[in-house]
Chain A
Amino acid sequence: ETGVTQTPRHLVMGMTNKKSLKCEQHLGHNAMYWYKQSAKKPLELMFVYNFKEQTENNSVPSRFSPECPNSSHLFLHLHTLQPEDSALYLCASSETGANTEAFFGQGTRLTVV
């Protein structure tokens, strides 16, 4: 039990579908993150939220749309994805002070067909 829960664990979607990934943290953190992990590539930071406000968007295509309704929940809405978007999507949370580590969920394995 990591304290960060992601659902679903696996998702297969067509390129015209709309789906959402969900992340929930029970650690009382105020910062949440989405990362993309593709085979043979480094971990890519996608979005950062602090106190429900988006503070970083690392040039992520608009077909990925994050939502943070409160400090405990983070969503990633997906639409019109491409096969190259297939990857493991990891959610993380942390405290907002200095020298703090991030806690990760188990990830959602996304396959776009």
Chain B
Amino acid sequence: GDSVTQMEGPVTLSEEAFLTINCTYTATGYPSLFWYVQYPGEGLQLLLKATKADDKGSNKGFEATYRKETTSFHLEKGSVQVSDSAVYFCALSSPWDTGRRALTFGSGTRLQVQP
């Protein structure tokens, strides 16, 4: 079945450091890929997405590129802020003809940014 694997956290960085959170996936066909963010006490919010190979999703300084050859969708940001401290989830949406309608999520990576 489909699966998403994320690097374990927590990831602790100083403000203005470069961020990479790794995500790899296993899926049938060509899924869409997403990054969600969860701030303390809140639900999940969509951060960015990519629907086909080589697409780059971007939002709020975060970027991720859909790499079909390496089945990866790593999240990057050039300069993190304290306000970026949250849990980040990588997810995939299975192709419509697989019959699976819900997103498959990774286990989440906690990011802590220190001033």
Number of interface residues, chain A, beta carbon within 8 A: 27
- Are B102 and A101 within 8 A (Cβ)? no
Q: Is B89 an interface residue (CB 8 A)?
A: yes
Q: Is A96 an interface residue (CB 8 A)?
A: yes
Task: Tell which of A6, A50, A90, A98 touches B93, judged by Cβ atoms closer than 8 Å.
Answer: A98
Number of interface residues, chain B, beta carbon within 8 A: 22
Q: Given the known inter-chain contacts A99-B32, A100-B93, A101-B93, please indicate yes or no for A31 contacting B101, CB distance below 8 A.
A: yes
Binds A, one of B13-21, B39-47, B67-75, B77-85: B39-47
Instruction: Provide the residues of chain B in CB contact with A56, threshold 8 Å.
Output: 101-102
Cα A2 to Cα B32 in complex, Å, equals: 21
List the 6 closest pairs (A to B, CB-CB), nearest first: A98-B96, A104-B43, A99-B32, A42-B107, A104-B44, A106-B43
